[in-house]
Amino acid sequence: GAVVSQHPSRVICKSGTSVKIECRSLDFQATTMFWYRQFPKQSLMLMATSNEGSKATYEQGVEKDKFLINHASLTLSTLTVTSAHPEDSSFYICSARESTGGARVYGYTFGSGTRLTVV
Amino acid sequence: ELKVEQNPLFLSMQEGKNYTIYCNYSTTSDRLYWYRQDPGKSLESLFVLLSNGAVKQEGRLMASLDTKARLSTLHITAAVHDLSATYFCAVGLTSGTYKYIFGTGTRLKVLA
C-alpha cells in the first residue's frame, strides 16, 4: 500500500531557530499534501494544503511566514517552522493525496508524525 | 464554518460491552473516514465510507454512514482492551479542495 515517510520523528530545538520537517510519498506521486498540527489530547487541525509547483494554501489563522511550506516535487513536501518558540511545540503530521485518484477510495495516507519541542 | 463533532469525547467501558461513537458533521459530503490513533503515534485508517447507507465491518468494529442525517457511527462489539485508543472521524470536502476535516476525537479506554 501507499507509504508516506515523515522525517524527523522527533526534534528538539532552541527558541529562535528554524526546523524543517520532510514528508515524502515513497511509492506514489502526490499532487497534494496536507499538513496538520495536533496538541496533546486534541484533534488534528489542518494548517495548510500543499500543491506541487504552486504556493501552499493556508487555513485561517495560520501564519504563512511562520510555517513555510514547499512542495518542490510530486513526492516531497517540506514544512519549515521559522524562528520557533515554545508555543510552536506540537505534533505535526502530513498526509498525501495520490495523484491517480485512488485517494477517494482508500483515503489519504498519513506520515508517522514529528514531535517538535522548542526549548 | 464546517463542524465535525464526535460524541462522546471520552469513553470508558468494560471488556465485553458494546458501545457506539457518533460523528455529526455540518456540511454536505459523501465521504467519511474513520481513523485510529494510539498515544504518540500517527493515524491508522479503519474505514472508508463513500455513499449513503454504506456499512463496513472489520473485527469488532462496524462503521456506517447516513449522508442525509450527516451522521456516521462507529459501533464497538464486545470490546477488548486492545481497542483502547483515540478514534477520529474525518469528513472529506467535495468542493474540490480535497481537504479532510477531523472530528473532535473519542478517547476510548477499555477496562479489563
Distance from CA of A94 to the nearest CA of B (A): 9
Size of interface A-B (CB pairs under 8 A): 50
CB-neighbour burial class of residue B71 (10 A; exposed 0-12, middle 13-18, buried 19+): middle
pLDDT digits (tens, 9 = 90+) for B35-44: 999 999 999 9
Banded model confidence at residue A102, pLDDT cuts 50, 70, 90: low
Three-state SS at B28: coil
Q: Which residue has the higher pLDDT, B107 or A98?
A: B107
Contact A42 B103 (CB under 8 A): no
Closest CA to A95 of B5, B102, B31: B102
Please give the DSSP secondary-structure letter assigned to residue B51: S
Distance from CA of A17 to the nearest CA of B (A): 24
Contact A104 B40 (CB under 8 A): no
Q: Which of A43, A93, A110 to mutate to test the interface with B (most CBs of B within 10 A)?
A: A43
Contact B98 A43 (CB under 8 A): no
Query: What does the pLDDT read at residue B29?
Result: 84
pLDDT digits (tens, 9 = 90+) for B5-17: 999 999 999 999 9
Distance, in Å, from the CA atom of B2 to the CA atom of B20, rounded to the nearest integer, reads 23
pLDDT digits (tens, 9 = 90+) for A2-21: 889 999 999 999 999 999 99
Query: What does the pLDDT read at residue A112?
Result: 95
Judged by a CB distance cut-off of 8 A, whether residue A105 touches chain B is yes
Which residues in chain B have their CB less than 8 angstroms from residue A108's CB?
A: 100
What is the rounded average pLDDT of the residues A25-54? 92
pLDDT digits (tens, 9 = 90+) for B18-74: 999 999 999 888 789 999 999 999 999 999 999 899 999 999 999 999 999 999 999
Which residues in chain B have their CB less than 8 angstroms from residue A34's CB?
A: 99-100
What is the rounded average pLDDT of the residues B99-103? 92
Residue A107: all three cell numbers together: 483515503
pLDDT surpassing 90 at residue A103:
no
Contact A103 B40 (CB under 8 A): no
Which residues in chain B have their CB less than 8 angstroms from residue A6's CB?
A: 42
Positive or negative: CA dihedral B69, B43, B77, B51: positive
Judged by a CB distance cut-off of 8 A, whether residue B92 touches chain A is yes
Three-state SS at A88: helix
Mind giving me the DSSP string for A14-77? -TT--EEEEEEESSS-EEEEEEEEE-TTS-EEEEEEEETTS--EEPTT--TTTEEEEEEETTEE
